[in-house]
């Protein structure tokens, strides 16, 4: 375990306990805590950011989080940037590091981000002009959407488009179904926050990678699922697209027990955190795209 992790953990405990609450600003408070721990405020700030990333990764993979604790804070921060645009590749780098050199790792992350952005641009163009337009709405998804939106509709009322927003990238949502009916007044409160008269995104799609070995698939699902749940804050339905229909059961089994299951909630139709948020579910890609 690296020194930065121990320092950050102590600082986090002090901050959560209200240590230094009398200081005039958050920066002054953090400076005082850093001094008491024998480090600088900037160094402590970086360590706390790295600690937050470790805690995020722990939700997806406990062992990966332990590996991060043995890395330098600089490398952990680089991996946290990588995670935002490619969590699966980030996990691979955590488990099998290409390099331990901070500068070399930063260059790898930058190259990966450039490749991802180029691929996303090409994919968006192909969806707009090619086979990606040919999609169908599975009965199960239509039924869940009508329940979520409290309104009947047909597939013809929806349009599939790329979803290019910072929030979408953070959640791994690459495309979405939009409802263009300007007269539509959505019942769920979280949809009413959108601008009146604008198309409503009613389903977000998270594409999972294909042809993964069992352990890699498990890590991929566990990395994507928390972000899909986060996306339910703006989408009535979030679909995790399984590239191989015969692995749907394996993907669902990769998830840890969902908290609400122990409270008697049946997740057979999907997973949700509360009635005020959307629902997340797995659908085979072949069930949606022709």
pLDDT digits (tens, 9 = 90+) for 223-250: 898 888 888 888 889 999 888 888 888 8
Question: Does the structure show a pLDDT above 60 at 14?
Answer: yes
Residues paired with residue 173 on neighbouring β-strands, in sequence order? 206
Distances (CA, A) of 139 to 98, 169, 186, 236: 45, 28, 21, 16
Q: How far apart are the first and last CA of the chain?
A: 50
Same domain as 106, residue 20: yes
Which pTM was predicted?
0.50
- Write down which residue in 65, 83, 116 finishes a domain: 116
Alpha helices in the chain (DSSP H): 3-16, 26-36, 41-60, 62-69, 73-85, 87-95, 102-129, 139-149, 166-171, 189-192, 214-231, 248-253, 285-288
Residues 97 and 135 in one domain: no
Domain residue limits at 149: 131-288
Asked whether residue 124 is domain-assigned, the answer is: no
Q: What is the pLDDT of residue 269?
A: 61
Q: Token pair 């804050």 is at which residue? A: 233
Based on the domain organization, do 139 and 273 belong to the same domain? yes
Higher pLDDT, 116 or 97: 97
pLDDT given for residue 53 in this prediction? 87
Residue with the larger pLDDT of the pair 285 and 9: 9
Q: Are 58 and 5 in contact (CB under 8 A)?
A: no
Residue 192: pLDDT band with limits 50, 70, 90? very low
pLDDT of residue 259: 59
175 belongs to a structural domain = yes
Q: How many domains does the chain have?
A: 2
Instruction: Please write the tens of the pLDDT for every residue from 66-108.
Output: 999 999 999 999 998 888 777 778 888 998 888 889 999 999 9
pLDDT confidence of residue 4:
94
In terms of Cα–Cα distance, which of 79, 174, 66 is closest to 124?
174
Sign of CA dihedral 171, 176, 177, 178: positive
- 250, 211: one domain: yes
164 and 245 together in one domain: yes
- The pLDDT > 90 percentage for the chain reads 14
Evaluate if residue 261 carries a pLDDT over 60.
no
Report the pLDDT value the prediction gives residue 276, as an integer from 0 to 100: 65
- Residue 233 burial by CB count (10 A; 0-12/13-18/19+): exposed, middle or buried? middle
In a domain, 254, yes or no: yes
pLDDT tens by residue, 127-158: 333 334 478 888 888 888 877 777 677 777 78
pLDDT at site 188: 43
Does residue 135 sit in the same domain as residue 266? yes
| Of 116, 143, 167, the domain-final residue | 116
Cα(32)–Cα(216) distance, integer angstroms: 43
* Shared-domain flag, residues 151 and 36: no
């Amino acid at each position: 375990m690296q020194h930065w992790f121990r320092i950050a953990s102590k600082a986090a405990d002090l901050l959560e306990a209200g240590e230094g609450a009398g200081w005039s600003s958050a920066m002054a408070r953090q400076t005082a805590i850093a001094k008491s721990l024998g480090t600088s405020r900037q160094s402590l700030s970086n360590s706390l950011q790295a600690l937050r990333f470790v805690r995020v990764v722990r939700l997806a993979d406990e062992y990966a989080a332990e590996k991060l604790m043995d890395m330098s804070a600089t490398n952990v921060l680089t991996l946290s940037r990588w995670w935002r645009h490619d969590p699966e590749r980030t996990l691979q780098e955590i488990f099998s590091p290409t390099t331990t050199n901070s500068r070399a790792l930063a260059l790898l992350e930058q190259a990966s981000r450039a490749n991802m952005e180029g691929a996303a641009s090409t994919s968006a163009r192909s969806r707009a002009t090619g086979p990606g337009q040919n999609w169908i709405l599975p009965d199960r998804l239509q039924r869940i959407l009508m329940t979520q939106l409290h309104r009947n509709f047909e597939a013809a009322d929806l349009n599939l488009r790329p979803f290019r927003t910072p929030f979408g990238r953070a959640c791994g949502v690459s495309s979405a179904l939009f409802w263009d009916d300007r007269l539509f007044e959505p019942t769920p409160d979280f949809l009413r926050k959108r601008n009146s008269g604008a198309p409503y995104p009613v389903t977000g799609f998270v594409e999972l990678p294909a042809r993964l070995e069992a352990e890699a698939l498990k890590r991929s699902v566990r990395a994507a699922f928390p972000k899909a749940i986060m996306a339910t804050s703006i989408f009535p339905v979030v679909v995790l697209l399984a590239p191989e229909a015969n692995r749907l059961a394996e993907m669902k089994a990769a998830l840890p027990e969902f908290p609400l299951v122990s409270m008697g909630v049946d997740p057979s139709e999907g997973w949700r955190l509360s009635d005020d948020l959307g629902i997340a579910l797995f659908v085979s890609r072949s069930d949606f795209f022709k």
